[in-house]
């Protein structure tokens, strides 16, 4: 078992404790919110937030409560930069909301919608079904406009909260400067009707098109566009507004009536945006705000995952190499306050661990009472679909890795037949069920993708058309006698995997070839390597007749 996984303590208690806390709120319907800025492809680590929200919802529903999850795609933020792969001109679109920029991929209604769709379409695979809300569309609703009005009417209060929280650790000079900058500050910006921008400038020189005054008597705001110089005074209903980011969050909570929202440590840090949001919920919107659920990030190979640094390991990329249940398992088994670390090279081991855990749930493997209880609680939450009444055996992933690589030289029926044979043997089955069979193609596909992208040299299996001459030239007379007899056995007998192993061993000894040498010679003849997958199953996968012919070809 890899060290990384064996040392982690199982913990289900965080889910129970959390749900107890959420239950104290007692609304008619519980709403668990999640959200993400749509400024690029989203990395798979974000699915931790989605899965935390999903299990809170599932547990609330299990306790007879009305509960749902919502995902808010924050696509109303102004564009600050583009991923390097994008063909749009940054000068042309800087400061425009992501929801107003075109989709250069040509498939979606906006750039923000493109990244939203790319993420959202993977939710069902991961077992999550949040209602998807676009932030830009939310701002078009009367409810959000009312929330903006409440904020403008409480500008003084919001200024005071920000000064208290943001300037908390400033020195006197910084604090004085900040307080001064807040004197004429309003918590909303306007999308300029002339140039379409929410702000001007790029990194380091951003000037938002902030509201410069608000008249509550006639509901009119004034604003200047820092980009094109347009300025105007107009009714609140006649312009497109966006709240400042620390104010936007509590306004969304208020409008959505959010009961609970998980947040990564950057936002959830003490005194951070979550806490200022809760303070605004109390002082501006007159309610408690949601239950805060801080969580530690998911890391990739020990590194933080970023959105802006080019290549992104997306949820789709995860699904291409690994089952979604493994991701849910990784997230849920670890305390929410601890980081998860994806090690792509260990995925085959982790899948084995997960499937042992699955068998514990079904009472099929020896496990102590504690492990069984834990599997009883946790396994259903790791499943993307509803849990099957009976155990559905899965093709062992490590066998799939080898098999998938032989699809170019072995016909599909033979591949499947060998998969069935291996499953019968592995799980002691009379027959392989249709449910099990149905899972094989996707497993082979994931295994092949994994080995191509993350497999080490040891995982790569390649059978050349013929045995290279430099390998043939190293064979001794004893080797050839051994190979000749082995070929004859393969031509006449039909051996199972274990029989092949023992036959090679015994025959080698009889022919004065050291068993170690015999195996080495066979690996070199078959795959031009010194070692490889276990020979019994591998030779049966290739077919004994095919192997016999190959052995004869070197004699
Ligand atoms: Zn698109
Ligand atoms: Zn403008």
Q: Whose atoms come closest to the Cα of 225: which ligand?
A: 2
Handedness of CA 231, 236, 239, 245 (dihedral sign): positive
The count of other CB atoms within 10 Å of the CB of residue 369 is 7
Q: What is the mean pLDDT of residues 226-243?
A: 96
- As a whole number of angstroms, the distance between CA 265 and CA 336 comes to 11
Total residues belonging to the chain: 555
**Rounded to the nearest whole angstrom, what is the distance from the C-alpha of residue 205 to the centroid of ligand 2?**
16
Q: Whose atoms come closest to the Cα of 104: which ligand?
A: 1
Q: Whose atoms come closest to the Cα of 195: which ligand?
A: 2
CA distances, 21 to each of 15, 16, 254 (Å): 10, 9, 19
DSSP letter string, 75-143: --SBP----TT--S-HHHHTTSBGGGS--TTSSSSSHHHHHHHHHHTTTTTTT--PEEEEHHHHTTSHH
The count of other CB atoms within 10 Å of the CB of residue 463 is 17
DSSP letter string, 235-281: EGGGS-EEE-HHHHHHHHHHHHT-SEEEEEHHHHSTTSHHHHHHHHH
Whether 267 and 278 have beta carbons less than 8 Å apart is answered as no
pLDDT category at 10 given cuts 50, 70, 90 is: low
Closest listed residue to residue 150, CA positions, set 291, 292, 289, 283: 283
Q: Return the exposure string of 322-360: e unless at least 16 CB atoms fall within 10 Å of the residue's CB, then b.
A: bbbbbbbbbbbbbebeeebbbbbebbbbbbebbbebbbb
| CA atoms within 13 Å, Cβ hemisphere of 509 | 5
Tens digits of residue pLDDT in 366-396:
888 888 988 999 999 999 999 999 999 999 9
**Rounded to the nearest whole angstrom, what is the distance from the C-alpha of residue 345 to the centroid of ligand 1?**
31
**Rounded to the nearest whole angstrom, what is the distance from the C-alpha of residue 222 to the centroid of ligand 2?**
14
Handedness of CA 452, 456, 460, 466 (dihedral sign): positive
**Rounded to the nearest whole angstrom, what is the distance from the C-alpha of residue 129 to the centroid of ligand 1?**
21
Strand, coil or helix: what is 31? strand
Whether 150 and 187 have beta carbons less than 8 Å apart is answered as no
**Rounded to the nearest whole angstrom, what is the distance from the C-alpha of residue 250 to the centroid of ligand 2?**
28
Whether 460 and 451 have beta carbons less than 8 Å apart is answered as yes
**Rounded to the nearest whole angstrom, what is the distance from the C-alpha of residue 139 to the centroid of ligand 2?**
19
235: left (phi over 0), alpha (psi -120 to 50) or beta: beta
Long-range contacts of 448-453 (CB under 8 A, 24+ apart): 448/401, 448/404, 448/405, 448/407, 449/320, 449/321, 450/321, 450/322, 450/344, 450/347, 450/348, 450/401, 451/401, 451/404, 451/405, 453/321, 453/344
**Rounded to the nearest whole angstrom, what is the distance from the C-alpha of residue 195 to the centroid of ligand 2?**
4
| Six-digit token string for 119 | 């993420």
Q: Whose atoms come closest to the Cα of 232: which ligand?
A: 2
Whether 513 and 482 have beta carbons less than 8 Å apart is answered as yes
**Rounded to the nearest whole angstrom, what is the distance from the C-alpha of residue 192 to the centroid of ligand 1?**
25
Closest listed residue to residue 318, CA positions, set 24, 17, 43: 43
Q: Whose atoms come closest to the Cα of 229: which ligand?
A: 2
| Six-digit token string for 109 | 């209604």
* Residue 520 pLDDT exceeds 90: yes
**Rounded to the nearest whole angstrom, what is the distance from the C-alpha of residue 226 to the centroid of ligand 2?**
7
Q: Whose atoms come closest to the Cα of 96: which ligand?
A: 2
Whether 435 and 392 have beta carbons less than 8 Å apart is answered as yes
Q: Whose atoms come closest to the Cα of 190: which ligand?
A: 2
**Rounded to the nearest whole angstrom, what is the distance from the C-alpha of residue 221 to the centroid of ligand 2?**
16
Query: What is residue 367's predicted lDDT score, i.e. its pLDDT?
Result: 86
| Six-digit token string for 428 | 């002691």
Closest listed residue to residue 550, CA positions, set 517, 519, 525, 524: 525
Least confident of 5-19, 85-99, 421-435: 5-19
pLDDT category at 286 given cuts 50, 70, 90 is: very high
Strand partners, 340: 298
- As a whole number of angstroms, the distance between CA 93 and CA 436 comes to 50
**Rounded to the nearest whole angstrom, what is the distance from the C-alpha of residue 230 to the centroid of ligand 2?**
5
Q: In which element (H, E) is residue 490 found?
A: helix 477-492
**Rounded to the nearest whole angstrom, what is the distance from the C-alpha of residue 39 to the centroid of ligand 1?**
13
Whether 260 and 290 have beta carbons less than 8 Å apart is answered as yes
Query: What is residue 310's predicted lDDT score, i.e. its pLDDT?
Result: 56
Query: What is residue 309's predicted lDDT score, i.e. its pLDDT?
Result: 55
Q: Whose atoms come closest to the Cα of 116: which ligand?
A: 1
Q: Whose atoms come closest to the Cα of 194: which ligand?
A: 2
The count of other CB atoms within 10 Å of the CB of residue 388 is 10
pLDDT category at 13 given cuts 50, 70, 90 is: confident
Whether 28 and 66 have beta carbons less than 8 Å apart is answered as yes
Strand, coil or helix: what is 25? coil
- As a whole number of angstroms, the distance between CA 298 and CA 374 comes to 23
Long-range contacts of 82-86 (CB under 8 A, 24+ apart): 83/40, 83/41, 83/308, 83/310, 84/310, 85/310
Q: Whose atoms come closest to the Cα of 41: which ligand?
A: 1
Query: What is residue 75's predicted lDDT score, i.e. its pLDDT?
Result: 97
pLDDT category at 311 given cuts 50, 70, 90 is: low
Q: Which domains does the chain have, with CATH numbers?
A: 188-243 (no CATH), 397-459 (no CATH), 469-552 (1.10.10.350)
Q: Whose atoms come closest to the Cα of 224: which ligand?
A: 2
Tens digits of residue pLDDT in 428-484:
999 999 999 999 999 999 999 999 999 999 999 999 999 999 999 999 999 999 999
- As a whole number of angstroms, the distance between CA 555 and CA 81 comes to 65
Q: Whose atoms come closest to the Cα of 120: which ligand?
A: 1
Query: What is residue 3's predicted lDDT score, i.e. its pLDDT?
Result: 39
* Residue 134 pLDDT exceeds 70: yes
**Rounded to the nearest whole angstrom, what is the distance from the C-alpha of residue 227 to the centroid of ligand 2?**
5
Q: Whose atoms come closest to the Cα of 200: which ligand?
A: 2
- As a whole number of angstroms, the distance between CA 451 and CA 348 comes to 10
* Residue 541 pLDDT exceeds 60: yes
* Residue 307 pLDDT exceeds 60: no
**Rounded to the nearest whole angstrom, what is the distance from the C-alpha of residue 500 to the centroid of ligand 1?**
53
The count of other CB atoms within 10 Å of the CB of residue 301 is 12
3-state percent helix, strand, coil for the chain, nearest multiple of 5: 50, 10, 35
Q: Whose atoms come closest to the Cα of 209: which ligand?
A: 2
The count of other CB atoms within 10 Å of the CB of residue 264 is 18
Residues whose Cβ atom is located within 5 A of ion ligand 1: 103, 105, 107-108, 114
Whether 198 and 250 have beta carbons less than 8 Å apart is answered as no
Tens digits of residue pLDDT in 169-189:
899 999 999 999 999 999 999
Please name the residues in contact with 31: beta carbons below 8 A apart, sequence gap of 6 or more: 67, 68, 69, 70, 256, 257, 258, 259, 260
- As a whole number of angstroms, the distance between CA 180 and CA 469 comes to 82
């Amino acid at each position: 078992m890899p060290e990384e996984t064996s040392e982690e303590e199982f913990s289900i208690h965080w889910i129970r404790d959390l749900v107890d806390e959420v239950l104290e709120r007692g609304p008619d319907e519980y709403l668990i919110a999640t959200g993400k800025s749509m400024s690029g492809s989203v990395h798979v680590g974000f699915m931790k937030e989605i899965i935390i929200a999903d299990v809170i919802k599932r547990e609330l529903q299990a306790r007879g409560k009305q509960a749902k999850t919502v995902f808010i795609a924050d696509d109303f933020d102004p564009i600050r930069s583009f991923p390097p792969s994008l063909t749009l001109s940054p000068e042309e679109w800087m400061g425009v909301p992501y929801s107003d920029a075109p989709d250069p991929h040509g498939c979606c209604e906006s750039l923000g919608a493109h990244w939203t769709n790319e993420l959202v379409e993977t939710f069902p695979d991961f077992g999550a079904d949040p209602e998807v809300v676009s932030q830009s569309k939310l701002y078009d609703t009367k409810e959000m406009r009312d929330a903006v009005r409440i904020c403008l009417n409480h500008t003084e209060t919001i200024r005071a909260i920000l000064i208290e929280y943001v300037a908390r650790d400033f020195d006197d000079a910084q604090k004085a400067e900040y307080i001064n900058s807040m004197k004429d500050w309003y918590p909303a910006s306007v999308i300029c009707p002339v140039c379409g921008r929410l702000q001007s400038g790029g990194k380091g020189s951003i000037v938002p098109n902030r509201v410069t005054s608000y008249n509550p008597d006639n509901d009119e705001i004034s604003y200047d566009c820092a980009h094109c110089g347009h300025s105007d005074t107009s009714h609140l209903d006649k312009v497109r507004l966006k709240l400042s980011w620390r104010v936007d969050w509590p306004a969304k909570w208020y409008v959505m009536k959010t009961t609970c929202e998980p947040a990564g440590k950057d936002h959830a840090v003490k005194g951070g945006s979550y806490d200022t949001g809760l303070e605004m919920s109390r002082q501006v919107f007159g309610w408690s705000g949601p239950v805060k659920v801080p969580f530690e990030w998911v890391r990739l190979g020990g590194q933080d995952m970023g959105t802006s640094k080019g290549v992104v390991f997306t949820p789709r990329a995860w699904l291409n190499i690994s089952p979604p249940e493994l991701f849910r398992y990784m997230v849920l088994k670890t305390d929410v306050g601890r980081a998860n670390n994806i090690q792509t090279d260990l995925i085959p081991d982790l899948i084995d661990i997960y499937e042992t855990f699955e068998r514990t749930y079904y009472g099929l493997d020896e496990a102590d009472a504690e492990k069984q209880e834990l599997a009883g609680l946790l396994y259903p939450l790791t499943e993307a679909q509803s849990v099957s009444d009976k155990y559905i055996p899965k093709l062992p992933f490590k066998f799939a890795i080898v098999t998938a690589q032989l699809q170019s030289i072995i016909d599909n029926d033979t591949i499947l037949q060998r998969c069935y044979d291996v499953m019968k043997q592995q799980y002691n089955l009379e027959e392989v069920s249709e449910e099990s069979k149905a899972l094989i193609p996707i497993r082979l596909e994931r295994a092949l993708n994994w080995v191509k992208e993350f497999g080490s040299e040891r995982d790569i299996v390649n059978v050349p058309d013929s045995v290279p001459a430099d390998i043939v030239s190293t064979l001794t007379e004893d080797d050839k006698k051994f190979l000749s007899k082995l070929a004859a056995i393969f031509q006449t007998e039909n051996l199972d995997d274990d029989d092949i192993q023992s036959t090679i061993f015994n025959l080698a000894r009889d022919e004065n070839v050291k068993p170690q040498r015999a195996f080495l010679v066979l690996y070199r003849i078959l795959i031009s390597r010194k070692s490889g997958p276990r020979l019994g199953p591998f030779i049966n996968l290739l077919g004994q007749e095919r192997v016999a012919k190959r052995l004869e070809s070197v004699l």
